[in-house]
């Protein structure tokens, strides 16, 4: 059975990618199961989807814990433990990452033994998160890695999946997917089908007796206040608002009042954006009377940060590690 997990952020076409792969595998004669997994649906929040494909009936279901292929559409997710991108990977797993950085860098940084490949960018973009048709691109590359999906099958699956969006959108997505499919030619069939967990010599689950706890802790109550600040929603951001203090009129209220996330504080008439939490909605850019706030692609801004450290910590994890 092929077990594929695709990680990305809400809005990147992750569900579409899994459905394209699923449909293409199904048309190639496999029994298929595919499913997106999201909590409260939020644009920018981490999501993933799963595809299983086998020649026989698929009885497994739910999250894939032993993936043969992991596709990461957004490399910032690799730094977010809660996203679970690396769950269950081993030497058998192929990890395909959409990143500007080379595979060696990621293998070293993540200290993993899995085969890590970089998604080829067929369009030059400043930020890999802005790659057009990212879902279709991931699907195209993944299709080649599986080695069992033909070009025609891939194109047909995209046409079927995106039919409602019109022929132009279909054609654009097909072009992106095909470019990725072709670019991965050297890796044709790099992903092989994994095997099920054997029932002899299995690892005994570390079950415990759940202890009785007093209702004061055993009820779903939070006694902390405003600890949501520990959730670094700044990682959702693809565009970064930057204040030009030469243009800022020190009005003291406009940007901070309209910022939905309370992520702009004004101290002594100086507004400061909290990049740990700014989601990049760009409301402040639109409302600033003297147009003193500019939107800059996050990727470029991070490159600037490396040259010259700026507010916010680009390597912060989404939920503070405790």
Partner 1 sequence: MPPKLLTGNAAAAWGARLAAVDYVPAFPITPQTEIIEILGAWLDSGEMPGRMVTLESEHSMITAAGAAAATGVRVFSATSSQGLLYAMEMLYTVAGWRAPFVLVNVSRGLSAPITLEADHNDVLAARDSGFLQLHCADCQEVLDSVLLAYRLAEDPLIRLPVLVNLDGFYLSFTREPVSLPEAEAVRGFLPPFDPRDIRFAANAPASQAVAVLGGGPYSYFRYEAHLAALNGVAVYERVAAEFNTLFGRQRDAVECYKTIDAEIVFYMIGSFSTKAREAVDRLRDAGQKVGLVRPRLLRPFPAGHVLTAVAGKQGIIVIDQNLSIGLGGILYTELLASLYDKPGAPPVVTSFIGGLGGRDISPQEFYHMLTITRQAIASGSVPPPRLLYTAGELREIRKLQAIAQVEREETAPGQGPIRDSNTAQETPRE
CA triple 121-124-129, angle to 5 deg: 65
CA distances from 302 to 73, 80, 130, 308, 311 (A): 18, 17, 14, 9, 11
Contact assessment for residue 316 and residue 234, using Cβ atoms and an 8 Å cutoff: yes
Collapse the DSSP code of 134 into the 3-class scheme (helix H, G, I; strand E, B; otherwise coil) and give the result: helix
- Between CA 283 and CA 231 the distance in angstroms is 21
- Check binding of 81 to partner 1 (CB under 8 A): no
Select from 91, 111, 185, 217 the one that contacts partner 1 (CB under 8 A): 217
Residue from 168, 186, 214, 246 that binds partner 1 (CB under 8 A)? Answer: 214
| Alpha carbons 195 and 321: distance in angstroms, whole number | 34
Size of the residue set binding partner 1 (CB under 8 A): 48
Distance (Å, rounded) from C-alpha 51 to C-alpha 72? 14
For partner 1, the binding residues in 83-142 under the rule CB under 8 A are none
Report if residue 313 touches partner 1, rule: CB under 8 A.
no
Within 13 Å of residue 133, how many CA atoms lie on the same side as its CB? Answer: 26
Touching partner 1, residues 154-193 (CB under 8 A)? none
226 binds partner 1 per the rule CB under 8 A: no
Shortest distance in whole angstroms from residue 96 CB to partner 1: 22
β-strand pairing of 2-9 with 69-72: parallel
**Please, what is the minimum distance in Å from the beta carbon of residue 304 to partner 1?**
33
Can you tell me the distance from the alpha carbon of 69 to that of 145, in angstroms, rounded to the nearest whole number?
9
Q: Does 216 bind partner 1 (CB under 8 A)?
A: yes
Nearer to partner 1, 195 or 270 (CB): 195
Site string for partner 1, 42-71 (x = CB under 8 A): ----------------xxxxxx-x------
Q: What is the pattern of x (binds partner 1, CB under 8 A) and - over residues 11-30?
A: --------x--xx--x----
Q: Could you list the residues that contact partner 1 (CB under 8 A)?
A: 19, 22-23, 26, 31-37, 39-40, 58-63, 65, 196-200, 202-214, 216-217, 220-224, 227, 230, 322
């Amino acid at each position: 059975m092929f077990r594929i997990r695709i990680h990305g952020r809400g809005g990147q076409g992750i569900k579409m990618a899994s459905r394209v792969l699923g449909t293409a595998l199904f048309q190639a004669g496999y029994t298929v199961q595919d499913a997106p997994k999201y909590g409260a649906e939020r644009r920018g929040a981490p999501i993933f989807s799963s595809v299983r494909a086998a020649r026989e009936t698929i009885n497994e279901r739910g999250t894939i814990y032993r993936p043969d292929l992991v596709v990461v559409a957004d490399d910032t997710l690799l730094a977010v433990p809660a996203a679970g991108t690396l769950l269950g990977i081993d030497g058998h797993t192929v990890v395909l990452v959409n990143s500007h950085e080379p595979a060696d860098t990621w293998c070293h940084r993540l200290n993993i033994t899995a085969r890590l490949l970089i998604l080829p960018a067929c369009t030059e973009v400043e930020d890999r998160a802005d790659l057009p048709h990212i879902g279709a691109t991931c699907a195209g590359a993944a299709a080649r890695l599986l080695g069992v999906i033909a070009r025609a099958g891939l194109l047909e699956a995209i046409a079927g999946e995106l039919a409602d969006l019109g022929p132009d959108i279909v054609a654009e997505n097909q072009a992106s997917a095909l470019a990725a499919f072709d670019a991965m030619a050297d890796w044709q069939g790099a992903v092989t089908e994994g095997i099920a967990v054997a029932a002899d010599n299995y690892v005994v689950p570390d079950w415990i007796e759940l202890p009785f706890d007093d209702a004061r802790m055993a009820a779903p109550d939070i006694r902390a206040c405003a600890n949501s600040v520990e959730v670094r929603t700044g990682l959702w951001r693809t565009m970064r608002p930057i204040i030009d203090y030469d243009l800022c009129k020190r009005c003291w209220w406009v940007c901070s009042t309209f910022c939905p996330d309370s992520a702009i504080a004004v101290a002594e008439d100086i507004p400061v954006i909290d990049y740990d939490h700014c989601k990049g909605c760009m409301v402040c850019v639109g409302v600033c009377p003297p147009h003193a706030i500019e939107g800059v692609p996050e990727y470029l801004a991070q490159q600037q940060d490396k040259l010259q450290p700026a507010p916010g910590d680009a390597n912060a994890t989404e939920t503070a590690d405790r």
